[in-house]
Every structure is written in structure tokens, then in C-alpha cells.
């Protein structure tokens, strides 16, 4: 396996069997993917397509029926590789009676991180995920979004080289979503590899370098966002401060050159951008009032 | 090792914050305390014995229940809550998870024993304090000595089951030999207790006269006593420790005086009590044995939790505990089926009756054999029954603790590798 490969699967197959040992559900069928180090890789697919099964197979939580997977150069049953892994499960499930500090301390101890270092990392991560204000509150009092944030923090407690995130933005508000996306991009800038699995396409499109779409356990398509979304016969022209006359001239010019104008409209942006704009304005207003 | 301790600590914390443990401890303490208000027919000695018995029964019952409920539920709950998903995604060997859980439960059992044991001890002491000095002496643990061997002399002896019958009138005698007798206070009361079966010429009286010879092989001194033994009443003979003349050996010969009277004996029917130990020491030994039973139950519950769902595992553990406590009864039951079958075969039966033996064959294969097999596979919890030592005021021999511990270790050596193997291949979905 090449040095720049973080994850490689070969004919990775998982079939769930019934009580009588018969193959009941083929959750994953001969999956072959290679994820390079330092990239953000998105695994897309509808519910029940086999995304979470793939992640669990990579983490050694479940075992393949056929095929194999290598993570950071080691097989999935090698526990030592998990020292370099961070994992955020689909549902943030932790000991509910522990508070944020205790939770991160518990997971830190599982990595045998020394006490002082654990404390430093806990402080830094709680600050990073915006949970400092609730660090002494038991997790059972946390909202879904807060649980997601503590989940992300525990996934990063060991400063991993490869981070596997299952639906990282599920349950988060738009601000949390943006912060998480920023965090993922920051991790990439630190040279870390991120494998994220989501069915929120916009999130994946915003941050992923490459994506794979799987459905009914089978790989449908794999490539960079640019490659997959590019339409070779359609050109998008974004222009600012263009007068109405100039716009008509551009349209006439295109028609002269045998091009078809599909639509001309003002750029609308995204709902997320609008929400963040309003939120930022409110914050600056309240600061001005103070 | 650090990971094991981290998981153990977490398991302990989880259990402490779990209401079940507190409810069981509170119920246990209430039951223990309520024994002080139990109406008693008899003297102060009976009162103390009842409190002792209730205390040990409560500790055993609530402790076992806590061990089963907590250890049977921990892994299945962690899987259901998906907490185990995040733990196994860390560099933790699955065997460490099992070890960690078990050590966590050991902490829990320690706390439970400390609370319930302390309350019991104080209550027993308090109850004894309220009684007269003579009555409260029932707390002292008498050192019991079992015979090295039993010899039957005479030609008339007949063996039925595990009981040997000897006839009186000089036709036979039972000879018990004791070795290794020792006591710090050589003047202590030395008591011989026996529980024999009798069959007399005069059935109506229910008594037979017997001659008891106590021979000191060291000084060749012989002490002869004539007594009447009643049916259903243990024989008790008190001597002075001085009669041993410093010897550690003693021979006791018992024979019915009259011809036609029969004495039925077994090797462990006669015991010598000599010397006493403090109640506190005996109490600690009792708690140690009970804690070993809890440990054994934890190991079995953890084994079940690696492949069974929570409700099924709790039922499985309760079944193991229940059947393990009645292994004798199970073996007796299988013998009863056997006797029934033998008798049917012994008689000359008609063809129609022979056909009905299909039922007996089924009974044999479906009930008798599995019951017998279960009685040998399941742990025998009689090793951990200490209540009778306290009720009879007998010192628990250290051998008993080692036997109980050894038995638990043996079981753990079988259960733990199976748990590791199953859990290693378990899918944490």
C-alpha cells in the first residue's frame, strides 16, 4: 500500500445474516475505494445505503463478510491503528451522567494521554467546539447540537491523523454547521485526512475534495466535486455591476455565436448565507447596544 | 492496565449513579434491620441466631441480585446506548473491556459488602449485647474437627445407601479416629456431637441405649459413657480438654448396648468441638466466602452479556443461581427418576405395560439426563453457603475459603476465555 493512502478497501462486502445463518441483507457489496492522505472525502448516499456500515467496517466495529480494508497502512483488526484515528458516531452516545470535562478526560485516558496534556487538550477542544460554558453540566442536560459538538471534541482528543465523521452536522443549527465545516477545513489545512459521511449534499459539496456515492451497498460514482458536477456544454458567467444595456449586448453576442442562453437572473446566494448574515448583524447590534 | 482501570472506574461510577444499586442496598439494610424485630420463640440464643441467619441471608440475596442485575446489564446497555461504539473505536482491546467491567463490579461488590456487612455486624453485636452473657456466648465460633476415618467392626454391619448399620449387644461398633486436635486453651470444653439414625427393638420409645468409649491413644486412657440416643435429637457429650493429656489424637467408639438395636452412621455424623474463635474473625471469613460467590456470579453474568440480550441474560443468571443453589435436589430428582425406572424393570410387566416404558425412556432422555448434566455443569453454590456455620456457632475452616475461592477461579478460568472469544467476534453495531 502506497504511503500517501489513508484508507483502501478491496471488494469490501458486508452481509447481515438472519438467525439461521442465511444472508438477509447485503449492506455493502464489493466496495473499492482509495482515500488519499490529507484530503476530505465524502461518502454520500440515501438512508440505508451502506455508509455507516462502511465506517464501522473501517473501524473494526463489525467484520467484513468478504474483502478487506486497510486504514493508515494497517488492517482493521489492528487495534494500534486506532491511536491515530478519531471517530464521531452517527448518534452522539456517551455516558449521560458525565459532564463535558469528565467525558473528554475518560476518552483521553483510553489513549493513555498524560493527565496534564489531557487537561490542556480538553480546554482547547471545549473552547474550539464552543462548549466551555457548559463544561460542568451533565451530558443528559445537553441539546442534540451540544452532544454533536462534544462528540466532535472526543473524536479529536488524541489529535488524530485520520478523522471519521458520521453525519457531523446532523442536529446542528446553521451556525454550528458552519463552524463544523470550518473545523473540518482547518483539520485539512493541518494535513489531516477526513472521511465524512452525510446525506446533506450541500455540506459535502462545500468542503469535500472527492466524493463517492453509494446506494444499496454499491459504489455508484467516485470523483472530485468539480469532475462530477461539471457540465461541459454549459458555461456559468458571474458578473458584478453590469448595466442592463451591456447585459443585452452580451446576450445578443452569445446568440450570434450560436450559443443558447438558458437563463439570466440575479445571483440569489444560499439560505445559509442569509441566515449567517442576519445572525452576524444581530450580534454586532447587541454589541453596539452594550 | 491503565485502560482496564479506567473502564473499571467508569463502570463503578455508572453503577453508583444507577438507582438499582442504591435501591438494593437500602432494601438490604431494611431487611437486615427488620430481623431485630422478628418475634422469637425461645431464649436469647435463638434471638441471636435468627438475627445472624437473617443478616447472612439478606447479604447473600441482595448482593447476588445486585451482582446479577448490574453485571448482566452493563455490556448490553452500553451496546444499546452505543457507548461501546465510541469505546471500541479507541485503541482498547476488547479483552480489556471485559476485565475492566469485571474489576468495576468487584469495586461495587466491595462497597455493597462494606455497607451491608457493617450494618449486619453492628446489629448482631447489638442484639448480643442486649442478651445475657451466657446467651451471647453463642456468637463464639467453636472449632470443629472432623474424623480422619470411620471403621465399622463386627460382622453384623450392613450398608444401605451411604449409611452403615451396626447391631448392638457386642455384635458391632463404629470407630471414629480423630487427628490434629488442637486448642490454645487446653482446659476448654471438649464436646462430641453426633447425629445418628437409630432403629430400636422397642420402636415405641424412639430411644436406644448406647455405649461410648473415648480412647486417648497417647496415654491409653479410656473414658466410658453410657447414654440414650433419641431419634431426631443429636447426641451431645461434654468433656474437659484435659482428658486429652496433650494428645492430638482421639478415638471414639460407639455401639448400641442391646442386641436388636441398630445404629445407622455416616463418616461425618460425629464431630468434635474444641476451642473457640472470635465472632469477628468468623464473620470476616463468612463475608469473604459470600464475596467469592458474588464474584463467580459476576463472571457468569459477564459471560452471558457477551452473547445474550439484557432480559435473556438476567433470566439466564437467575436460572444459573437458582439451579446452582439446588444441585443436590437436582441430583436427587434424577435419582428418583432412575429408581422409578429400575423398579418398573424389576417387575415382570405385561406387554401393554412395557409399551408404556416409552414414557420412561423419554423421561430419562428429556428430563433425567439434562437435569443430571446441568447439576454437574452449573456452579454449585453450596460451597458458598455459610449461614449454617453461624447458626450452629461453628468456626469456618480456612480450607472452606480456599475451596470456595478455588472453585470460583476454576469457573472463571473456563468462563473468561469463552467471554473473550465471543466478545472479540461480537459486532458492535
Q: What are phi and psi of A69, to 5 degrees?
A: -140, 140
Q: Are residues A249 and A223 in the same domain?
A: no
- The whole-angstrom distance between A4's CA and the closest CA on chain B is 23
Q: Are residues A141 and A283 in the same domain?
A: no
Show the low-confidence residues of chain B (pLDDT under 70).
156, 183-188, 201-205, 241-244, 246, 334-361, 363-365
Q: At A137, list the grid cell.
A: 453540566
Q: Are residues A105 and A141 in the same domain?
A: yes
Contact between chains at A111 and B85 (C-beta distance less than 8 A): no
Residues 6+ apart with CB under 8 A from B316: B72, B304, B308
Whether A118 and chain B come into contact, CB under 8 Å, resolves to no
Whether A111 and chain B come into contact, CB under 8 Å, resolves to yes
Q: In this predicted structure, what is the pLDDT of residue A160?
A: 92
Q: What are phi and psi of B370, to 5 degrees?
A: -60, -35
Q: Please, are residues B104 and B17 in contact by the beta-carbon 8 Å criterion? A: no
- The whole-angstrom distance between A224's CA and the closest CA on chain B is 28
DSSP one-letter code for B394: B
A236 domain-assigned? no
B95: closest chain A residue by CA = A79
Look up cell 471488494; give the residue: A11
- Write down the pTM of the prediction: 0.79
| Collapsed DSSP state (helix, strand, coil) of residue B309 | coil
Using a CB-CB distance cutoff of 8 angstroms, which residues of chain A are in contact with residue B81? 93
CATH of the domain at A68: 3.40.50.300
Q: At A150, list the grid cell.
A: 462534544
Among the candidates B239, B258, B277, a domain finishes at: B277
Q: Are residues A97 and A185 in the same domain?
A: yes
Angstrom distance (rounded) from CA B191 to CA B206? 24
Angstrom distance (rounded) from CA B305 to CA B77? 10
Contact between chains at B91 and A111 (C-beta distance less than 8 A): yes
Contact between chains at A79 and B93 (C-beta distance less than 8 A): yes
How many residues in total does chain A contain? 290
Strands A40-44 and A210-215: parallel
Q: What integer is the mean pLDDT of A267-274? A: 67
- Report how far Cα B29 is from the mean position of its chain's Cα atoms: 23
CATH of the domain at B160: 2.60.120.260
User: Which of the four pLDDT bands, split at 50, 70 and 90, describes residue A289?
Assistant: low
Q: Structurally, how many domains does chain A consist of?
A: 2
Q: Name the residue facing A61 among B88, B91, B93 (closest C-beta).
A: B88
Q: What integer is the mean pLDDT of A119-131? A: 91
Q: In this predicted structure, what is the pLDDT of residue B204?
A: 62
Q: Name the residue facing A107 among B2, B90, B93 (closest C-beta).
A: B90
Using a CB-CB distance cutoff of 8 angstroms, which residues of chain A are in contact with residue B20? none
B334 domain-assigned? no
A89: closest chain B residue by CA = B86
Q: In this predicted structure, what is the pLDDT of residue B187?
A: 59
Contact between chains at A94 and B89 (C-beta distance less than 8 A): no
| Collapsed DSSP state (helix, strand, coil) of residue B171 | coil
Q: In this predicted structure, what is the pLDDT of residue A54?
A: 92
| Collapsed DSSP state (helix, strand, coil) of residue B5 | helix
Could you write out the DSSP letters of every residue in B138-160? GGSEEEEE--SEEEEESS--EEE
Mutation choice for A interface testing from B80, B86, B309, B422 by most A CBs within 10 A: B86
Q: Which domain holds residue B314?
A: 2-136+279-327+380-424
Q: In this predicted structure, what is the pLDDT of residue B348?
A: 45
Q: In this predicted structure, what is the pLDDT of residue A91?
A: 81
Q: In this predicted structure, what is the pLDDT of residue B353?
A: 47
The DSSP H or E segment spanning B230 is: strand B221-230
Q: Are residues A263 and A142 in the same domain?
A: no
Q: Report which of A217, A192, A203 is spatially closest to residue A51, judged by C-alpha positions.
A: A217
Count the Cβ atoms, other than its own, within 10 Å of residue B143.
18
Could you write out the DSSP letters of every residue in A173-188? -HHHHHHHHHHHHHHH
Q: Report which of B330, B338, B313, B308 is spatially closest to residue B377, judged by C-alpha positions.
A: B330
Q: Are residues A58 and A190 in the same domain?
A: yes
- The whole-angstrom distance between A286's CA and the closest CA on chain B is 40
Using a CB-CB distance cutoff of 8 angstroms, which residues of chain A are in contact with residue B2? 109, 112
Among the candidates B218, B244, B277, a domain finishes at: B277
Q: Please, are residues B93 and B33 in contact by the beta-carbon 8 Å criterion? A: no
Contact between chains at A95 and B83 (C-beta distance less than 8 A): yes
B347 domain-assigned? no
A238 domain-assigned? no
Q: What is the 3-state secondary structure of A40-103?
A: EEEEECCCCCCHHHHHHHHHCCCCCCEEEEEECCEECCCHHHHHHEEEECCCCCCCCCCEHHHH
Using a 10 angstrom Cβ sphere, with 0-12 exposed, 13-18 middle and 19 or more buried, the burial of residue A26 is middle
Q: In this predicted structure, what is the pLDDT of residue B199?
A: 79
Using a 10 angstrom Cβ sphere, with 0-12 exposed, 13-18 middle and 19 or more buried, the burial of residue A92 is buried
Contact between chains at B91 and A107 (C-beta distance less than 8 A): no
Q: Are residues B289 and B263 in the same domain?
A: no
Q: Please, are residues B279 and B140 in contact by the beta-carbon 8 Å criterion? A: yes
DSSP one-letter code for B233: S
Contact between chains at A97 and B13 (C-beta distance less than 8 A): yes
Q: Are residues B273 and B320 in the same domain?
A: no
Q: Are residues A17 and A94 in the same domain?
A: yes
B176 domain-assigned? yes
Q: At A234, list the grid cell.
A: 454549459
pLDDT digits (tens, 9 = 90+) for B131-175: 877 777 777 778 888 888 888 887 767 777 778 888 888 788 888
First to last CA, chain A: 59
A160: closest chain B residue by CA = B90
Using a CB-CB distance cutoff of 8 angstroms, which residues of chain B are in contact with residue A63? 425, 427
Kindly state the percentage of chain B with pLDDT values over 90.
25
A286 to A175, A238, A290, B124, B238: CA distances (angstroms): 17, 35, 6, 69, 95
First to last CA, chain B: 26
Q: Are residues B42 and B146 in the same domain?
A: no
Whether A59 and chain B come into contact, CB under 8 Å, resolves to yes
Helices (H), B81-93: 83-88
A285 domain-assigned? yes
Angstrom distance (rounded) from CA A56 to CA B198? 72
Whether A93 and chain B come into contact, CB under 8 Å, resolves to yes
Q: Are residues A121 and A147 in the same domain?
A: yes
Using a CB-CB distance cutoff of 8 angstroms, which residues of chain B are in contact with residue A79? 91-93
DSSP one-letter code for B363: I
Angstrom distance (rounded) from CA B261 to CA B415? 52
Using a CB-CB distance cutoff of 8 angstroms, which residues of chain A are in contact with residue B96? none
Q: Are residues B176 and B288 in the same domain?
A: no
Q: In this predicted structure, what is the pLDDT of residue A193?
A: 93
A234 domain-assigned? no
B317 domain-assigned? yes
Q: Structurally, how many domains does chain B consist of?
A: 2
Establish how many alpha carbons lie within 13 A of residue A113's alpha carbon, considering only the half-sphere containing its beta carbon.
25
Establish how many alpha carbons lie within 13 A of residue A89's alpha carbon, considering only the half-sphere containing its beta carbon.
21
Q: Are residues B287 and B394 in the same domain?
A: yes
- The whole-angstrom distance between B428's CA and the closest CA on chain A is 5
Q: Are residues B243 and B312 in the same domain?
A: no
| Collapsed DSSP state (helix, strand, coil) of residue B184 | coil
Mutation choice for A interface testing from B78, B91, B101, B308 by most A CBs within 10 A: B91
Q: In this predicted structure, what is the pLDDT of residue B409?
A: 92
pLDDT digits (tens, 9 = 90+) for B184-195: 665 567 788 888
Q: Are residues B272 and B322 in the same domain?
A: no
Contact between chains at A61 and B427 (C-beta distance less than 8 A): yes
Look up cell 451540544; give the residue: A146
B349 domain-assigned? no
Whether A95 and chain B come into contact, CB under 8 Å, resolves to yes
Burial A65-78 (b: 16+ CB within 10 A, else e): bebebbbbeeebee
Q: What is the dihedral of CA A282, A286, A287, A290, to 10 degrees?
A: 170
Q: What is the dihedral of CA B37, B42, B45, B51, to 10 degrees?
A: -30
Q: Name the residue facing B91 among A80, A89, A97 (closest C-beta).
A: A80
Using a 10 angstrom Cβ sphere, with 0-12 exposed, 13-18 middle and 19 or more buried, the burial of residue B112 is buried
Q: What is the dihedral of CA B11, B12, B16, B22, to 10 degrees?
A: 100
Above 80 in pLDDT, residue A123? Answer: yes
Look up cell 474437627; give the residue: B145
Q: Are residues A202 and A278 in the same domain?
A: no
Whether A15 and chain B come into contact, CB under 8 Å, resolves to no
Q: Please, are residues A172 and A180 in contact by the beta-carbon 8 Å criterion? A: yes
Look up cell 458567467; give the residue: A237
Q: What are phi and psi of A168, to 5 degrees?
A: -65, -25
B348 domain-assigned? no
Residues of B near A (CB-CB distance < 8 A)? 2-3, 6, 10, 13-14, 17, 81-83, 85-93, 425, 427-429
pLDDT digits (tens, 9 = 90+) for A205-228: 888 888 888 888 888 888 887 777
Contact between chains at B14 and A97 (C-beta distance less than 8 A): yes
Q: Which domain holds residue A90?
A: 5-229
Above 80 in pLDDT, residue A153? Answer: yes
Contact between chains at B85 and A80 (C-beta distance less than 8 A): no
Whether A87 and chain B come into contact, CB under 8 Å, resolves to yes
Mutation choice for A interface testing from B17, B78, B89 by most A CBs within 10 A: B89
Beta pairing partners, A197 = A43, A166
| Collapsed DSSP state (helix, strand, coil) of residue A211 | strand
Check the CA dihedral A215-A217-A220-A222 and report its sign.
positive
- The whole-angstrom distance between B285's CA and the closest CA on chain A is 37
Residues 6+ apart with CB under 8 A from B236: B191, B192, B193
Q: Please, are residues B62 and B28 in contact by the beta-carbon 8 Å criterion? A: yes
DSSP one-letter code for B1: -
Above 50 in pLDDT, residue A17? Answer: yes
Q: Are residues B127 and B148 in the same domain?
A: no
Mutation choice for A interface testing from B1, B80, B90, B92 by most A CBs within 10 A: B90
pLDDT digits (tens, 9 = 90+) for A242-253: 888 888 888 888
Q: Are residues A252 and A206 in the same domain?
A: no
Pairs across A and B, CB distance < 8 A = 68
Strands B197-199 and B270-277: unpaired
A37 domain-assigned? yes
Q: Report which of A142, A33, A157 is spatially closest to residue A92, judged by C-alpha positions.
A: A142
| Collapsed DSSP state (helix, strand, coil) of residue B72 | helix
Q: Are residues A164 and A269 in the same domain?
A: no
User: Which of the four pLDDT bands, split at 50, 70 and 90, describes residue A290?
Assistant: low
ipTM over 0.90: no
Contact between chains at B91 and A83 (C-beta distance less than 8 A): yes
Q: Are residues B186 and B233 in the same domain?
A: yes
Q: Are residues A269 and A141 in the same domain?
A: no
- Report how far Cα A237 is from the mean position of its chain's Cα atoms: 30
Q: Are residues B405 and B420 in the same domain?
A: yes
Whether A48 and chain B come into contact, CB under 8 Å, resolves to no
Q: Are residues B208 and B299 in the same domain?
A: no
DSSP one-letter code for A138: B
Count the Cβ atoms, other than its own, within 10 Å of residue B220.
8
Using a CB-CB distance cutoff of 8 angstroms, which residues of chain A are in contact with residue B86? 87, 89, 93-94, 107, 154
Q: Name the residue facing B86 among A60, A93, A97 (closest C-beta).
A: A93
Q: Are residues B90 and B102 in the same domain?
A: yes
| Collapsed DSSP state (helix, strand, coil) of residue B397 | coil
Burial A157-178 (b: 16+ CB within 10 A, else e): bbebbbbbbbbbbbbbebebbb
Amino acid at each position: 500500500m502506497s504511503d500517501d493512502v489513508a484508507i483502501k478497501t478491496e471488494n469490501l462486502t458486508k452481509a447481515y445474516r438472519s438467525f439461521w445463518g442465511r444472508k438477509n441483507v447485503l449492506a455493502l457489496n464489493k466496495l473499492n475505494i482509495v482515500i488519499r492522505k490529507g484530503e476530505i472525502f465524502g461518502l454520500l448516499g440515501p438512508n440505508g445505503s451502506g455508509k455507516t456500515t462502511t465506517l464501522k467496517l473501517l473501524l473494526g466495529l463489525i467484520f467484513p463478510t468478504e474483502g478487506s480494508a486497510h486504514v493508515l497502512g494497517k488492517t482493521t483488526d489492528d487495534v494500534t491503528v486506532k491511536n491515530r484515528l478519531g471517530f464521531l458516531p452517527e448518534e452522539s452516545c456517551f455516558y449521560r451522567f458525565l459532564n463535558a470535562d469528565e467525558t473528554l478526560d475518560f476518552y483521553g485516558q483510553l489513549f493513555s494521554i498524560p493527565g496534564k496534556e489531557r487537561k490542556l487538550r480538553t480546554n482547547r477542544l471545549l473552547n474550539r467546539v464552543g462548549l466551555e460554558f457548559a463544561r460542568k453540566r451533565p451530558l443528559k442536560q445537553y441539546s442534540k447540537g451540544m452532544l454533536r459538538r462534544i462528540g466532535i471534541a472526543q473524536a479529536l482528543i488524541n489529535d488524530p491523523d485520520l478523522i471519521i465523521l458520521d453525519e457531523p452536522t446532523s442536529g446542528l443549527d446553521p451556525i454550528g454547521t458552519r463552524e463544523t465545516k470550518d473545523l473540518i477545513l482547518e483539520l485539512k489545512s493541518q494535513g489531516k485526512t477526513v472521511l465524512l459521511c452525510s446525506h446533506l449534499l450541500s455540506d459535502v459539496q462545500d468542503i469535500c475534495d472527492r466524493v463517492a456515492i453509494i446506494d444499496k451497498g454499491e459504489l455508484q460514482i467516485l470523483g472530485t466535486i468539480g469532475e462530477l458536477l461539471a457540465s461541459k456544454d454549459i458555461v456559468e458567467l458571474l458578473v458584478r455591476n453590469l448595466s442592463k444595456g451591456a447585459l443585452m449586448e452580451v446576450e445578443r453576442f452569445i446568440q450570434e455565436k450560436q450559443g443558447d442562453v438558458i437563463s439570466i437572473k440575479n445571483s440569489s446566494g444560499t439560505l445559509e448565507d442569509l441566515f449567517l448574515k442576519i445572525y452576524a448583524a444581530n450580534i454586532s447590534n447587541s454589541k453596539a447596544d452594550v | 492496565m491503565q485502560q482496564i482501570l479506567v473502564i473499571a472506574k467508569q463502570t463503578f461510577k455508572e453503577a453508583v449513579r444507577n438507582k438499582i444499586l442504591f435501591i438494593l442496598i437500602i432494601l438490604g439494610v431494611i431487611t437486615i434491620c427488620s430481623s431485630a424485630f422478628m418475634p422469637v420463640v425461645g431464649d436469647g440464643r435463638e434471638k441471636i441466631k435468627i438475627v445472624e441467619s437473617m443478616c447472612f441471608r439478606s447479604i447473600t440475596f441482595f448482593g447476588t441480585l445486585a451482582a446479577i442485575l448490574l453485571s448482566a446489564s452493563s455490556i448490553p446497555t452500553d451496546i444499546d446506548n452505543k457507548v461501546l461504539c465510541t469505546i471500541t473505536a479507541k485503541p482498547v482491546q476488547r479483552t480489556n473491556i471485559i476485565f475492566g467491567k469485571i474489576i468495576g463490579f468487584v469495586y461495587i461488590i466491595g462497597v455493597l459488602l462494606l455497607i451491608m456487612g457493617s450494618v449486619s455486624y453492628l446489629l448482631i453485636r447489638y442484639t448480643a449485647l442486649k442478651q445475657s452473657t451466657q446467651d451471647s456466648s453463642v456468637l463464639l465460633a467453636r472449632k470443629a474437627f472432623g474424623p480422619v476415618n470411620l471403621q465399622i467392626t463386627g460382622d453384623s454391619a450392613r450398608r444401605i445407601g451411604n449409611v452403615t448399620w451396626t447391631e448392638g449387644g457386642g455384635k458391632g461398633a463404629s470407630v471414629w479416629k480423630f487427628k490434629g486436635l488442637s486448642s490454645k486453651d487446653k482446659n476448654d470444653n471438649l464436646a462430641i456431637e453426633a447425629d445418628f439414625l437409630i432403629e430400636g427393638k422397642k420402636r415405641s420409645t424412639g430411644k436406644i441405649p448406647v455405649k461410648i468409649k473415648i480412647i486417648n491413644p497417647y496415654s491409653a486412657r479410656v473414658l466410658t459413657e453410657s447414654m440414650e440416643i433419641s431419634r431426631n435429637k443429636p447426641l451431645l457429650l461434654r468433656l474437659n480438654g484435659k482428658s486429652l493429656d496433650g494428645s492430638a489424637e482421639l478415638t471414639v467408639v460407639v455401639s448400641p448396648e442391646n442386641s436388636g438395636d441398630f445404629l445407622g452412621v455416616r463418616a461425618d455424623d460425629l464431630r468434635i468441638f474444641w476451642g473457640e474463635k472470635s465472632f469477628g474473625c468468623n464473620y470476616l471469613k463468612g463475608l469473604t466466602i459470600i464475596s467469592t460467590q458474588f464474584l463467580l456470579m459476576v463472571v457468569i453474568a459477564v459471560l452471558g452479556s457477551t452473547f445474550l440480550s439484557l432480559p435473556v441474560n438476567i433470566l439466564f443468571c437467575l436460572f444459573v443461581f437458582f439451579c446452582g443453589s439446588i444441585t443436590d435436589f437436582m441430583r436427587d430428582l434424577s435419582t428418583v427418576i432412575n429408581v422409578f425406572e429400575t423398579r418398573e424393570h424389576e417387575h415382570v410387566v405385561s406387554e401393554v405395560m412395557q409399551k408404556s416404558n416409552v414414557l420412561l425412556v423419554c423421561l430419562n432422555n428429556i428430563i433425567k439426563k439434562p437435569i443430571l448434566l446441568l447439576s454437574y455443569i452449573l456452579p454449585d453454590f453450596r460451597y458458598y453457603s455459610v449461614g449454617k456455620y453461624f447458626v450452629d456457632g461453628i468456626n469456618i475452616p480456612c480450607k472452606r475459603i480456599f475451596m470456595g475461592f478455588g472453585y470460583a477461579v476454576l469457573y472463571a478460568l473456563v468462563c473468561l476465555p469463552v467471554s473473550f472469544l465471543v466478545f472479540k467476534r461480537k459486532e458492535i453495531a
